[in-house]
């Protein structure tokens, strides 16, 4: 049945659009300005835990899921940057406790590279409201407005369930596609498949850009290609990063032979390299059931 569905580009296009919308409503709810990819994991883990946690305990959680490695150094510095961003947009409030047990508010200064292990991270109501907003829109899209309204008081359970589903089902399939693309793209480049795969996974704009280009391919709208400015304006998720970041992403995809140039003059215009259509077709077989699987994941929480 899935194979028959894949033959209809409109069915696949609808699924691509759904997951792009999933990304849009998430980033619209949380209003991140920086570190969009890593902070997707960070806020999910924050909301899955207690309202107040220690820095050392939360760092341990983040290390376990691979957002930062177990060896501190540079990765922990990047993790501090993620927390600074959440502090900057008023989603968390970090405090330290002095030797007498009194809490002292601290500022996450740009030059601060170390958090005392006893630092407490308090989740603010703004973070919870963002989580509730995203969960309501997600549930409404899957089960309808009435069920979303009924389940709003239970949003933390839905939020966590959707997150676990994404980590166990969607993300592994997406990363498998990236690894297959890397293996296929090795010929004609001076990079190894591992290097290409790591670059694709590290660049958090790749998901939206490849999905947008794939959608345009399926709809027959990529003949003239897309320049960097057009790609930058295609999605709220991508508009949140600087134009130069999109330009760098496209240069990387071009080096990896994943996109083709439609023209040889400026501004460059890109579309998906037809060489990988077969891999995207195979990925479509994995993609098609995921929306229904997510719906079934949330359905037990709702009185149908």
3-state SS of 269-288 is CEEECHHHHHHHHHHHHHHC
Same domain, 56 and 158: no
Work out whether the CA dihedral 290, 295, 300, 304 comes out positive or negative. negative
How far, in Å, are 45, 146, 233, 300 from residue 212 at the CA level? Answer: 28, 31, 11, 32
Host domain of residue 260: 2-27+131-301
Token pair of 24, please? 């849009």
Find the range with the poorest average confidence among 28-42, 122-136, 200-214, 258-272.
28-42
Q: How far apart are CA 255 and CA 111, in angstroms?
A: 35
pLDDT digits (tens, 9 = 90+) for 121-133: 889 999 999 999 9
Same domain, 115 and 139: no
How far, in Å, are 84, 199, 234 from residue 242 at the CA level? Answer: 19, 18, 13
Work out the pLDDT band at 303, boundaries 50, 70, 90.
Answer: low
Neighbouring C-alpha atoms within 13 Å toward the C-beta of 278: 4
Same domain, 66 and 203: no
Same domain, 96 and 160: no
Same domain, 144 and 202: yes
Token pair of 204, please? 């958090």
Same domain, 39 and 170: no
pLDDT digits (tens, 9 = 90+) for 204-235: 889 999 999 999 999 999 999 999 999 999 88
Domains held by the chain: number: 2
Scanning the structure block, which residue is given the tokens 């997600």?
A: 138
Q: What's the whole-number mean pLDDT along residues 7-31?
A: 92
Closest among 174, 253, 170 to 209, alpha carbons compared: 253
Question: In the listed set 80, 96, 127, which residue is the last one of a domain according to the structure?
Answer: 127
Same domain, 233 and 221: yes
Provide the whole-model pTM: 0.86
Q: How far apart are CA 51 and CA 222, in angstroms?
A: 47
């Amino acid at each position: 049945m899935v194979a028959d569905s894949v033959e209809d580009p409109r069915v696949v296009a609808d699924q691509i659009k759904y997951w792009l919308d999933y990304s849009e409503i998430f980033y619209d709810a949380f209003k991140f300005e920086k570190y969009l990819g890593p902070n997707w994991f960070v806020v999910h883990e924050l909301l899955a835990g207690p309202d107040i946690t220690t820095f050392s305990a939360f760092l341990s959680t983040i290390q376990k899921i691979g957002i930062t490695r177990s060896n501190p150094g540079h990765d922990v510095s990047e993790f501090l940057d993620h927390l600074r961003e959440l502090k900057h947009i008023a989603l968390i409030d970090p405090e330290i406790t002095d030797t007498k047990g009194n809490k002292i508010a601290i500022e996450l200064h740009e030059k601060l590279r170390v958090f005392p292990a006893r630092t407490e991270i308090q989740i603010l109501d703004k973070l919870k409201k963002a989580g509730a907003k995203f969960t309501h829109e997600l549930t409404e899209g899957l089960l309808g407005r009435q069920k979303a309204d009924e389940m709003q008081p239970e949003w933390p359970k839905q939020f966590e369930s959707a997150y676990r589903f994404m980590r166990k089902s969607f993300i592994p399939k997406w990363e498998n596609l990236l690894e297959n693309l890397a293996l296929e793209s090795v010929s004609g480049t001076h990079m190894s498949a591992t290097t290409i795969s790591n670059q694709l996974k590290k660049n958090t704009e790749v998901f939206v850009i490849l999905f947008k280009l794939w959608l345009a391919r399926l709809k027959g709208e990529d003949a003239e290609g897309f320049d960097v400015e057009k790609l930058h304006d295609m999605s709220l998720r991508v508009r949140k990063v600087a134009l130069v970041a999109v330009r760098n992403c496209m240069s990387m995809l071009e080096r990896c032979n994943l996109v083709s140039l439609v023209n040889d003059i400026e501004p460059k215009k890109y579309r998906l390299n037809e060489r990988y259509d077969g891999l995207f077709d195979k990925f479509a077989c994995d993609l098609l059931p995921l929306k229904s699987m997510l719906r079934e994941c949330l359905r037990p929480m709702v009185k149908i």
